[in-house]
Structure 1
Amino acid sequence: MAKQKQLAVIGLGQFGRGVANTLLSQGHDVLVIDKDPRSVNDYKEFATHAVVADATEESKLSSLGLTNFDYVIVAIGEDIQASILTTLILKDMNVKKVWVKAINKNHSKILDKIGADYIIHPEKDIAKRLVRQLLHGHILDFVELSQDYSIVELKSSKKINKKTVEDLDLRTKYGISLLGIKYEGKIDINPSPGFIIEPKNVLIVLGHNKDIEKFKEAELYDEFTLKIKR
């Protein structure tokens, strides 16, 4: 069994919760920090410590003894300014390892400049992990990368049966990526343009939730399903 580590997760949005839950399930000591009391309250029974604090306030962070932690993960959501300021404070405090979630390329560049030890790109990192799972014959039905992006398994429909991957042209038409297709107990990673979709095939796609939903409504729902949904 891997050695138990002491970690802190700052920010309890979708990504932060996912990180905290995974670490806790592996038996690590986890401190969760968020300025929203309701989010922190959800972890009081599960996390090693759960603290309500604004991570941009240096005095608050200094009082938590974060220099003794193996890793501090800054998982702050869309507030780039708060993410950058929190990272600066942690580096000035000489925290051992500061891992930070980047929202976009510019955010990532700034984090690199101010000394983040590791910059997390949720889409890219989860996609790499997914490929490793695919190669070992495992796949998740649904992976929420962030509030907006997901990896989803979708069953084929009558509308797309007998179409090729090229016919679907998911990236051009819907802005989503086809990572693989499951069929007959196998998984074809990055299927060729000529791959023909058959009944019971399962498409593994990555993209913005709104774009995935557009694809589902346009290609996977029949008229009966749409009537029920409406």
Structure 2
Amino acid sequence: MKDQFAVIGLGRFGGNLVSELSHLGVEVLAIDINHEVVDKYSDIATHAVQANAMDETVLKQLGIRNFDTVVVSFGENIEASILTTLLLKDLGINDVWVKASNSYHQKVLEKIGADKIIHPERDMARRIAHHITSEKIIDYIELSSDHSIVEVSASSKVAGKTLIQLDVRAKYGCNIIAIQRAEGIIVSPSAEEKVERDDILVVIGHNRDIQRFEKAGV
């Protein structure tokens, strides 16, 4: 597990990310050019520093190359985002995640070598859209443009049946990779595992297969 992260830009997304990483018990370096924002996270992050991330010398002094992953999370300052990403890649950071403001910003980030591009608002909108259009889908995670993981409430129609009886893979082309119930989660359940009422099925597969599975009322 990676245990050293740096977050550059402590706006709404970056700040929440720092808080969640700190909650997970990993080392977090929080960087922003605004001293008031930095003060806000001084008791949350492992280290909170006021600094200009577009200055290569400053990044070196902060020991940025010692971090496993660096997240660039500027708001609408696309120029700062691009220049900082370039500097990080030039410094040899292997894993640079960058928040993109729009599709044009993403294209530039792809060309300069960003390792992962994040669209928080778009991704959350997709999750909510899938949730509100289905009574059964509890959560949705996009893996690619074609594949996803969804959490689906098990219906009374499947309660008491084993996974081998349901034969989801053969019938719908997707896979149940976990079952969540009140007493805990069963990862990689066996074919003989019985589905209980109120179970949450964690399903992975192609989007069209997941939709067929959901529409079948399983």
Which TM-score band applies after superposition, normalised by the shorter structure? 0.5 to 0.7
Q: 1:70 to 1:136 in 2, by over 3 A?
A: farther
Q: 1:45 to 1:128 in 2, by over 3 A?
A: same
Q: 1:43 aligns with which of 37, 41, 44?
A: 41
Pair 1:74 & 2:72 matched: yes
Partner of 1:99, secondary structure, is strand
Residues 18, 44 of structure 2: 8 Å contact kept: no
Q: Give 1:24 deviation, angstroms.
A: 1.3
- Flag structure 2 segments of 5+ consecutive residues without an equivalent: 141-218
Match of 2:174 in 1: none
Pair 1:103 & 2:101 matched: yes
1:58-97 counterparts in 2 under 5 A? Answer: 58-97=56-95
TM-score, length basis structure 2: 0.58
For 2:113, the aligned partner's letter is: G
Partner of 1:59, secondary structure, is helix
> CA–CA distance in 2 between the matches of 1:97 and 1:132?
31
Could you tell which deviates more after superposition, 104-113 or 21-30?
21-30
In the TM superposition, structure 1's runs of 4+ consecutive aligned residues that sit over 4 Å from their partners are 128-136
- Flag structure 1 segments of 5+ consecutive residues without an equivalent: 140-230
> CA–CA distance in 1 between the matches of 2:115 and 2:131?
24
Residues 54, 87 of structure 2: 8 Å contact kept: yes
1:127-206 counterparts in 2 under 5 A? Answer: 127-128=125-126, 130=128, 131=130, 137=138
Q: 1:72 to 1:132 in 2, by over 3 A?
A: farther
Match of 1:120 in 2: 118
Q: Give 1:35 deviation, angstroms.
A: 0.4
CA RMSD of aligned residues (A): 2.2
> CA–CA distance in 1 between the matches of 2:25 and 2:86?
29
Residues 4, 27 of structure 1: 8 Å contact kept: no
Q: 1:48 to 1:136 in 2, by over 3 A?
A: farther
Q: Give 1:70 deviation, angstroms.
A: 1.3
- Identity among equivalent positions (%) equals 50
Q: How many residues align?
A: 137
Q: Give 1:129 deviation, angstroms.
A: 5.1
Q: 1:4 to 1:81 in 2, by over 3 A?
A: closer
Match of 1:168 in 2: none
Partner of 1:124, secondary structure, is helix
Residues 6, 69 of structure 1: 8 Å contact kept: yes
Residues 101, 121 of structure 1: 8 Å contact kept: yes
> CA–CA distance in 2 between the matches of 1:110 and 1:47?
30
